[in-house]
Structure 1
C-alpha cells in the first residue's frame, strides 16, 4: 500500500463504514447535475409495474422512492459502487411474469424472485460460493446467459408493439448516440482531442437520453410534457396493498418456478461486480492519494438487505443490483482527473445517489420526464443488451462453445430461464464436455484460454 494514500473518514459499523455528506465528504456538482437526469432511469420501472403487476402510477412511484433509499444505504455504508438495478434480468423477468395474471399472482411471482435473489446473495456472500459458482460454471453457459439476456432486451424493444417499433425515430437515434459515446473508437479519438467530447463523456448516457427526448418531442413521437409545480407525493398507503403481507406470500411451486431466474440474476450481478472491481482498480492506478476499500462480503450483505426490503415492502422487476455500471464508470472517469475534480470516489458515488433521490421529489422534474420514461428505459436496455451480447461473445472461442451458447441464448430469450438452463446443461454434457480423457484435457485447455 502506498504510504501517501489516505482513507476518507468514516464511522465503523461491523463490516460497514458509514459516511455522511458534509461531515465526511463534500458534494460534487457534476454528479448533482447528472442525478437530476439519470433519476429518470429509476422512474422507468414505473411502466413495467403498471403493465406487469397492475400498480397505479402513484404506487409505482412509491416503489422508486424505496429503491432510491436502499441505494443511499449502500453508498452510505461504504461501497465505492453506484448501486442500481440488475438491468439485464428485466426482460427475462418480464417473460416470467407473462405466465401470471397481473395482480396477486404476478406480485407473488415477483416477490418469490426477489426473496430468492436476496438469500442467494446472503448465502453466497457468507460462504464464498458466489465466486466458486461463477468461476466453475462453463464459459458457454455464462455466455448463453449473457447473450440471451441481451437478445431478450433487443427483442422486447424491436418486436411489433415494442417501444422502438412504436417510436422508432427518437429511440433509434438516441440508442445510436448512446452506443457511439460509450463504445465507438471514433469517439475515443475525439475524447483525446476535444474538450467538448470529454465534457459529453463525463455525463455517461445522460446526453443520449436528452437528445432522444428532444427528437421525440420534435417529431411528435412523444407529447410535450405538462409541467407541474410542487413536491412529489408517492402513495405509500396504496403500495402497502401490493406487498406480500396483503397479497399473500408465494407458494413453494412459485418459488421453484422463480429459482432459475434468481440464479441467473445472481450470475449477471456477479459479472457486474467483476466489472465494477475493474473500474475501481483503474481508479486506484490513476489516483495515488486515496485508499479505496472494495469489500465484496459487505457488498453481498447490503445487496441481500436491499432485495429483502424490496421483496417485503416494494417488489419490482429490476431487482436491487450491486452496481449501476454506467453511473459508476462515469464517476470513476471524472475521479481519475485528480482531487480538484473529485475529492473522493465516495464523494462522487454518494453525491450521485443522493441527487437521484432528491430529484424524485422535485415535481417539475418528475412531471417533465413522465411522458419520456419509455425513452430512459429503452436506451438503458439497448445499452445493456449490447454490453451483454459483446461480453457473452467474449466468453467463448470454440465453435462448439459458441453453438451451445447461442442455442441456450435463443431459448432463454424466447422461452425463459428454466428452459434455457435445462437446454444449456444438456448441450454442455452431450456435445461440449469431452468424455475421453484427451478430449477433456483439450476442452479444459480451451476453457482456460477463454478465462
Structure 2
C-alpha cells in the first residue's frame, strides 16, 4: 500500500523536482507482485549484454557485470522521475553496433568508439529533445529511409543469430523452440483467440517474453546445449574499480576521427529509439481509453532529457554496448496490457513500470539468480533479438507503400545489415534522390500515413 492515495480521475501523487515528478515506492505507489516475478527473470536480458562487452569491447566479466548494474540503477532514475515507460536497451541497434565495433580492436580502441557513440547519442537526445526538432526530423525523414533502417536492423539481428557459427547453429533445439513459442505467443492469431477464451493463456501472455525465455532455458539444459549452473549464494558486489579501468578517463577520450565515424550509428540509434517512443506512446494512449481513472503524463521532452542523462553517464563511466534506450518495448507492453485490466489488477501504470524496474535491478544483486542465469545469458539475448528483428521488419514494411520506396528501403536495409550505418545512409540518401524525389507527393502521403 502507498501512503499517498490517488483519487479516481487524478494523477498519481509525486514530489516536483524541476520538470520531473519524483515518486518512491510505498509513499506514492504500491509494488505489483506480477511485475516483481517478471523482473527476477527478465533481468537476465540485461545480463545478456555481458558476452558482447567481453568479446567486442574487451572488458572482463567483473567489469561488464558492474556496467550492467550501473545500467539498471540508471533505469531506476528514469522511472523514479515520472516517465510511465519501462526503459531498456536500444535493442535493434545492438547488431549494428557490433558491426561498427568490429572496425576497432577490442580494448582501448573499441572502448573509445563505444564512448563516442554514447556521447553523440546523449547530445542528440539533449538538443532534439529541448528544441522539439526530434519529432520534426523523424517525421520528415523519407518513409523509405525509415523503413530501410528498421528492416536493416531487423535483418542484422536475425542474420547474427541464423548465420553459420551463430547461436542458432550452436544451440538449435532450445533456440528454435523458444523463438517459435515467443513469436507464436506474441503474434499468432490463433493465440489471440485462445487468449480471449483461456485464463491460462492470458496469464502466460501477461508475463511477456519471460515464458519463452524460461522454456528455452529449460530445454537447453535438458538437451545439454547449455551446462548446469554453478549457483553461488550471497549478494552481488559490483567491481566498480575494475569497471573504472575501461572508462575514457583511463583509456583516453575518443579522437575527432572516431567521433566522425560514430555519427551515422548514433543517428540511427536515435531514429530507432524515437520509433520506440512512438510505439510506447501509442500503447499508453490506448490504455488511457480503457482506464479513465488515472491521468498519465508522458511528456516526450522529459523522456529525451533522461535518455540524455543516462547515455552521458554511461559514456563517461560505464560504456554499455546496448546504449540507454528510453523504452523497453516488450516490458512496457506487458505492463500496459495488465494495466488495462483495471485498478484492482494494477493501481497505476507508474506502479507497474516502477515495480518492474525495481525488480530488474534487485535481481542483479541476488547472487543465486545471477549465477543461475549465467550459463544461459546467450538464450535471453537471442530470444530478445529474434523478437526485435521480427518487430523491426514488420514495422519497417508498413512504412513503404510503392514499389520504388520498397526497393529503396530493401537496398538500404541490405547494405545496413552487411556493411554498417555509414554505407547504408549514403546508399539510402542517394537512391532516394535518384529514384524517389520526383514522387514527393507520394512520399508525403506515405509519411502522413506512417
Work out whether the TM-score is over 0.5. Answer: yes
The aligned counterpart of 1:422 is 426
* Cα deviation code 1:355-402 (max 9, x no counterpart): 011110111100000000000000000000000000000000100000
Matched, 1:328 2:328: no
Corresponding residue for 2:181? Answer: 177
Secondary structure in structure 2 of the residue aligned to 1:250: coil
Equivalent residues in 2 for 1:198-217, closer than 5 Å: 198-217=202-221
Among candidates 383, 405, 410, match of residue 409 of structure 2: 405
The answer to whether the aligner puts 1:126 opposite 2:126 as a matched pair is no
- 1:140 is aligned, of 144, 162, 165, to 144
Match of 2:446 in 1: 447
Alignment of 1:41-440 (within 5 A): 41-434=45-438, 439-440=439-440
Shift of 1:276: 0.3
In the alignment, the residues of structure 2 paired with residue 380 and residue 390 of structure 1 have an alpha-carbon distance, to the nearest angstrom, of 16
C-alpha offsets along residues 386-423 of structure 1, whole Å, 9 cap, x if unaligned?
00000000000100000000000000000000000000
Instruction: Tell me the equivalent position of 1:38.
Output: 42
Q: How far did 1:317 drift?
A: 1.2
Q: 1:361 to 1:208 in 2, by over 3 A?
A: same
Stretches of structure 2 that go unaligned for 5 or more consecutive residues are 1-6
Query: How far apart are the structure 2 equivalents of 1:5 and 1:247?
Result: 53
| Secondary structure of 1:360's aligned partner | helix
Deviates more, 1:153-162 or 1:378-387: 153-162
**C-alpha distance in 2 between matches for 1:445 and 1:311:** 37
Q: Pick closer, same or farther for the CA change 1:440–1:48 going to 2, 3 Å.
A: closer
TM-score normalised by the chain length of structure 1: 0.97
SS of 1:12 mapped into structure 2: strand
The one-character-per-residue Cα deviations of 1:300-353 (angstroms, maximum 9, x if unpaired) are: 001000000100000111000000000001001111111111111110000000
Deviation for aligned residue 1:283 = 1.3
TM-score (norm: length of structure 2): 0.97
Alignment of 1:14 onto 2:13:
no
Distance verdict in 2 for CA 1:306–1:449, change over 3 Å: closer
3-state SS, counterpart of residue 21 of structure 2: strand
CA contact (8 A) 2:150 2:272 kept: yes
Cα root mean square deviation, aligned: 1.0
What is the total number of aligned residue pairs between the two structures? 444
Q: For the residues of structure 2 that align with 1:8 and 1:448, how far apart are their CA atoms? A: 35
Q: Distance in 1 between matches of 2:107 and 2:444?
A: 50
Q: Assess, with a 3 A threshold, how the Cα gap between structure 1 residues 448 and 413 changes in structure 2: closer, same or farther.
A: closer
- Aligned structure 1 segments of 4 or more residues deviating by more than 6 angstroms: none
Cα distance in 1 between the residues matched to 2:124 and 2:448: 29
Shift of residue 440, structure 1, vs aligned partner: 4.0
TM-aligned CA deviation for residue 161 of structure 1: 1.2
- 1:421-442 deviations in Å (ceiling 9; x for gaps): 00000000001110xxxx544x
In 1, the alpha carbon distance for the partners of 2:353 and 2:232 equals: 29
Query: Residue deviations 1:96-148, cap 9 Å, x none?
Result: 00000000000000000010000000000011110011100000000000000
Please give the per-residue CA displacement for 1:172-198, whole angstroms capped at 9, x wherever unaligned: 110100111111111100000000000
| CA deviation vs aligned residue, 1:68-98 (integer Å, no higher than 9, x gap) | 0100000000000000000000000000000
The structural deviation recorded for 1:447 is 2.3
Give unpaired runs (5+ residues) of structure 1. none
